[in-house]
Structure 1
Amino acid sequence: MMDIAHVWSALGGDPALLAHVSAVERPGALRARLPVREAARACVGACALAAAELGARRAGLAGVPAVRVDDGAVAAAFVSERHLRVGGRAPVAFAPLSRFWRTADGWVRTHANYPHHRARLLAALGVPDRPEAVAAALAERSAPETEEAVHAAGGLAVALRTPEEWAAHEQGAAVRGLPLVERGRLDSAPARVCPRADRDPLLPAAGLRVLDLTRVVAGPVATRTLALLGADVLRVDAPWLPELPDQHADTGFGKRSARLDLATGRDAFEELLATADAVVTGYRPGALDRFGLAPEALAGRRPGVVVAQLSAWGARGPWGGRRGFDSLVQVATGIAAAEGSVRRPGALPAQALDHGTGYLLAAGVLRALTEQVDEGGSRVVRVALARTAGWLLEGAAGAGTGTEGSSGGRESAAPVDVRLAERDSPLGTLRYAPSPVSFAGGPDDWARPPGPWGADPARWG
């Protein structure tokens, strides 16, 4: 379950291509009770294979380049925000109100990194912006009561559940029925002829345009990966929803960043869409539909487009329209209980749901582009943090075994030796973790560093 072969099958890939993948195992990487290292390797390896496959097709190569997945590089990338230095400064971590809290009957975890989420949390609890006031208020409430009250106020708080409790929850059942990567064809649009891909280095997504309507971590990780592979990625944000600067720096490699109000800037957006090859979204299911951004609507205006959608909880079930983050999904689905103790919940050694799902999303886009070469058709790809969480829990029985199944050859290696890169940028000198997506002849770094959030014009370069 936790191998590249399983993920590759979920992506609809040819199993014969798994012979091109080898792995370097480093048992010291991403230590956890759950099989985080194996899951991370599988997501990155499948993404790299999807890139190699598309690159070979577009460059006219006789065979698919060899893919090598190194646990050390994967582990470093899965905690890229911790390795990042901007002008020698370490990034700002979680905000003081983003943490676990004791309730009258258990635990909740809150997310208040963004000012508007912090304000809504405080309003729901009726307390001032002081951790001790929040703690006192929550100690008098039940976890389920807190979860619903904060959600009703537009904030973010999730009650701690065991895996069994999540399995019995209506949303847990809805997500469990989803494929790891949901893939579909929207129409019979003809295959779009793409120019031959660059070969030095081999850039599978060269010449392709990606509209990036994502925020936070998972979606930006996906589009950061597509940018590494040569895509022209333009991230578009609402002017009133600024991103956290360090978070944007970590996930902004290879991209340009613009601000655009979709309500008043529709003409500008339609000009972007008219030549886009892929649209990647990371907002709550249905949140963008009123702007004509549902997959079917996008395909109607841009036949042949690939629409990739990321959500926290999945598009179905009672929580389908709720906001969510990696830390909260870990708590709701039972991961925090599995990684914790009887005294306190735990957490994964990385925001593995974010990063893993990001690579799954990028892989889904790459595979959709490959399928279009032969079959045409607008495509839709969907992934959800909660579904990735379920997959990780399903593989718990194999935790620490390092089994790769049909993923190819394996090498043993010493524990993690992190290799970081450094370069100048408009933000200052950056130290950062390189991408773990690697194949023979492929790129080893992004063509451009990140710039300030929203500093670019809303047009293709």
Structure 2
Amino acid sequence: MTGIKFAWSAVGGDPALLPRVSTVVREGALQARLPVRELARACVGACALAAAELGARRAGLTEVPRVTLDDGAVATAFVSERHLLVDSRAPVTFAPLSRFWRTADGWVRTHANYPHHRARLLAALGVAEEDPDAVGAALAERSSLEVEETVYAAGGLAVALRTPEEWAAHEQAGAVARRPLVEHERSDAVRARALPSLDGTPLLPAAGVRVLDLTRVIAGPVATRTLALLGADVLRVDAPQLPELADQHADTGFGKRSATLDLASDRRAFEELLAAADVVVTGYRPGALDRYELSARALAERRPGLVVAELSAWGAYGPWRERRGFDSLVQVATGIAAIEGAAGATGTTTDEPAAMRSPGALPAQALDHGTGYLLAAAVLRALTEQLEQGEGRGRCVRLALARTAEWLVNGLRPDPEGCPADGSYDAPDAWLTERGSALGRLRYALPPVSFAGGPVDWARPPGVWGADPARWV
């Protein structure tokens, strides 16, 4: 329970509620050298407890509903993108150029799932076509750090493999470590919309909450997918010129609506959405939305009482604050890939430098999923605070994948040896289900956020990306 205790404290939760949480321990769930299972439990547990607490307050319950964490449900949900089937077709998770590559002195990992990132990577390397052999040859001639800087300067994504010690010596690592897991700010402006009392079954803690979703990829969409599960009206808004990857949208689009807006030409429509929103969640790199006046401060000035949740890869501070990033790249930079690969193997006798040994990866994109559930938890707690304190001051919460990585590597501890298990995690079938949708027949992972009387599935499947009107229902 130490991980849950820390996560619950990080989102501002009352420690007196922790006894409401129980865990079903399953051997074999999210096995890794690092305590990934404990990270996943803690993040989902904090989110479920925050949901139960808000639901109890809004429904006038005398007790907060009990929360059950099942390692099987959590482990299945943490790889939801791999379990998704659309008309029996398996998803595409990583493009051919999104992978580890050998360099002259070590390894780099690239991310080229989106067409614009792929084009920038190829341009930076001087490779004319999407040819893995040509990319590999170009990378093999350069040092890892040279590749990292050259590709980033071109607007692409490549990160050099570092050991935990090398990352700890980096200026960005120091900036990250000095920050709390979840940052909290309160604004002076007051005007939160009063949320009505709840009744009915299931208990939906976020019913009636309007969430403007300005996120992409996994972490942010997982957070807003979770808020949608809990009853929020979630409208995801994307730029029409930046379509989302189809399988990614299908996995994280449950419970939401999806619209497109060009903020340069459709500004009035966006401002109308903002004026009626209760929560705005952003997942772009710090500063990327400033030209549209979408910083937390600017949002709070135009919509007093708003809850703003900001997510980034590297944090809104330090020399890498404006860099793009994804879970896989943060794992490589922070030493996780070294720990999980040959560089982290015990009993090795090779004289090969650690940077040259084969890297590995976590059994899930756990930084994305974990941070996503923490982000949802922080939003739910902010809404509870507004309700309990009887005032509508706005709030801003910030999380970063790199800070979650710091917690995983240096803060969390695995379960003690010999800790009794309630069962084993042999297959995910018990936590998968199917339903029809506009995208086809979907097989997908059920939500791991579970509390007595709460929802067990999303009210609606994902729809077609960008097909919904940009307005509140």
TM range (shorter): over 0.9
Distance across 2 between alignment mates of 1:91 and 1:368: 35
3-state SS, counterpart of residue 190 of structure 2:
coil
- Aligned partner of 1:27: which letter? E
What pairs with 1:333-372 in structure 2 (closer than 5 Å)?
Answer: 333-342=334-343, 343-372=357-386
What pairs with 1:85-124 in structure 2 (closer than 5 Å)?
Answer: 85-124=85-124
Task: Give the superposition deviation at 1:3.
Answer: 1.3
Question: Where does residue 252 of structure 1 map in the other structure?
Answer: 253
What pairs with 1:150-229 in structure 2 (closer than 5 Å)?
Answer: 150-229=151-230
Task: Give the superposition deviation at 1:188.
Answer: 4.6
Cα gap change, 1:416/1:197 in structure 2, threshold over 3 Å: closer, same or farther?
A: farther
CA offsets 1:123-165 (integer angstroms, 9 cap, x no match): 0000132000011111110000000000000000000001111
Structure 1 residue ranges without an equivalent (≥5): 405-409
Question: Where does residue 401 of structure 1 map in the other structure?
Answer: 416
Task: Give the superposition deviation at 1:92.
Answer: 1.1
Percentage of pairs with the same residue:
75
Question: Where does residue 56 of structure 1 map in the other structure?
Answer: 56
Task: Give the superposition deviation at 1:190.
Answer: 4.9
Note if 1:231 corresponds to 2:238: no
Cα pair 1:11 1:367 within 8 Å, conserved: yes
Task: Give the superposition deviation at 1:417.
Answer: 4.1
- Aligned partner of 1:401: which letter? P
3-state SS, counterpart of residue 3 of structure 1:
helix
Task: Give the superposition deviation at 1:428.
Answer: 0.7
CA offsets 1:378-436 (integer angstroms, 9 cap, x no match): 0001000000000000146x3353899xxxxx962233442211100000110000000
Question: Where does residue 428 of structure 1 map in the other structure?
Answer: 440
Distance across 2 between alignment mates of 1:395 and 1:2: 10
3-state SS, counterpart of residue 148 of structure 1:
helix
3-state SS, counterpart of residue 396 of structure 2:
strand
3-state SS, counterpart of residue 138 of structure 1:
helix
Distance across 2 between alignment mates of 1:317 and 1:42: 27
Note if 1:12 corresponds to 2:12: yes
Structure 2 residue ranges without an equivalent (≥5): 344-356
Distance across 1 between alignment mates of 2:176 and 2:34: 19
- Using the size of structure 2 for normalisation, the TM-score is 0.94
Distance across 2 between alignment mates of 1:240 and 1:295: 24
Distance across 2 between alignment mates of 1:83 and 1:350: 12
CA offsets 1:273-323 (integer angstroms, 9 cap, x no match): 111000000001111122121112111111111000000000000100000
Cα pair 1:340 1:347 within 8 Å, conserved: yes
Distance across 1 between alignment mates of 2:162 and 2:27: 29
What pairs with 1:295-310 in structure 2 (closer than 5 Å)?
Answer: 295-310=296-311
- Using the size of structure 1 for normalisation, the TM-score is 0.96
Q: Please say which of residues 13-22 and 178-187 is displaced more in the overlay.
A: 178-187
Distance across 1 between alignment mates of 2:2 and 2:140: 39
Runs of 4+ in 1 over 6 A off after TM superposition: none
Question: Where does residue 414 of structure 1 map in the other structure?
Answer: 424
CA RMSD of aligned residues (A): 1.5
Question: Where does residue 407 of structure 1 map in the other structure?
Answer: none
3-state SS, counterpart of residue 172 of structure 1:
helix
- Aligned partner of 2:3: which letter? D
